[in-house]
Amino acid sequence: MEDKTTWAASAEKLNVVFRSRRGTHQAVKDFSLCLERGGTLAVVGQSGSGKTTLLRALIGLVPPTSGKAELFGRDVNTLAPGELAKTRQRCGYVPQDPYGALPPGLTALEAVMEPAVIARRSWSKDETRTRAVDLLAELGLTETRILNSRAVGLSGGQRQRVELARALMLEPELLLCDEPTSMQDVSTRGEIVAVLERHVARGMSMIFVTHDLRLASRAAQRVIVMRNGELCEEGDAQRILKDARHPYTRELIASIPVLPEA
């Protein structure tokens, strides 16, 4: 029997079906995955492929229709509310929409400090502030004006970086990122991935959701390709980029823009 305590996250024959007056939509179909502690995994696919639903199901924000989603070897849908809250505190989550995610009444600095307050960490206010300032600086946000701005005064790219700093605030064992660089330019994307690499090097596990296979191969050791809620291909990130086997994966690679030579 496999020791699931060595896994940061896993799914076993996971299905998620949404029902509405217009009918049903199966967003995730019989999906299985596992991520070892300290490992990195990218989930790649076009819009509507089920990536966000998969991520939300893994952290218990979307209940599965059938199958299991586990964090640190524990089924998130069978945990009592208190245990689920403690388990989620071991995770950082960067949602896809930076416009609706940040608390509107808080400044950028206060938003990054807030998770430590909610989790009742024993850090002093000065320690909490210093850590928040350092995380924002690591992500390129150092201006006093930005730190003191509320969400409405920030660009989409700045909001994404504040959300990422907020997700890293509690030193998560597992970081789940949903398109965390979608509003960044090419150079800033590379800088953000470099920041994530440093945190992974300290032992953090990560699931990185993106539609960009090239970025996925930089951010993660392994890649899973999704289409219409199903697993198309999985394997070593560099192998998939150089020798994709599924036609859909080859389509994704063909759609990657060729960067002009300097």
204 alpha-carbon distance from chain centroid: 12
In a domain, 136, yes or no: yes
CB 220 within 8 A of CB 193: no
* Statement: residue 3 has pLDDT above 80: no
Mean pLDDT of the chain: 92
Asked, for residue 108, whether it belongs to a domain, the answer is: yes
pLDDT in tens, 74-124: 999 999 999 999 999 999 999 988 888 899 999 999 999 999 999 989 999
- Provide the domain count of the chain: 1
Is the pTM value of this prediction over 0.85?
yes
Find all residues with CB under 8 Å of 174, minimum gap 6, and list them.
Answer: 8, 9, 35, 71, 72, 90, 91, 92, 204, 205, 206, 207
Average confidence (pLDDT) over 36-43: 96
pLDDT at 2: 53
Residue 10 belongs to some domain of the structure: no
**Do 192 and 184 meet the contact criterion of CB atoms below 8 Å apart?**
yes
In which domain, by residue range, is 138 found? Answer: 103-171
126 assigned to some structural domain: yes
Question: For residue range 218-262, what is the model confidence (pLDDT) as tens digits?
Answer: 999 999 999 999 999 999 988 998 888 999 999 988 887 654 444
Question: Residue 4 has what pLDDT?
Answer: 59
Q: Percent of the chain, pLDDT > 90?
A: 80
Amino acid at 258: V
CB 216 within 8 A of CB 44: yes
CB 189 within 8 A of CB 215: yes
Average pLDDT estimate for 51-63: 95
Amino acid at 69: A
Assigned domain for 18 exists = no
Contact in structure between 216 and 225 (CB atoms under 8 Å): no
Asked if residue 25 belongs to a domain, the reply is: no
> Is the residue at 138 inside a domain?
yes
Mean pLDDT across 163-178: 97
| Long-range contacts from 213-216, C-beta under 8 angstroms, 24+ separation | 213/44, 213/240, 213/241, 213/249, 213/252, 213/253, 213/256, 214/241, 214/256, 215/181, 215/189, 216/42, 216/44
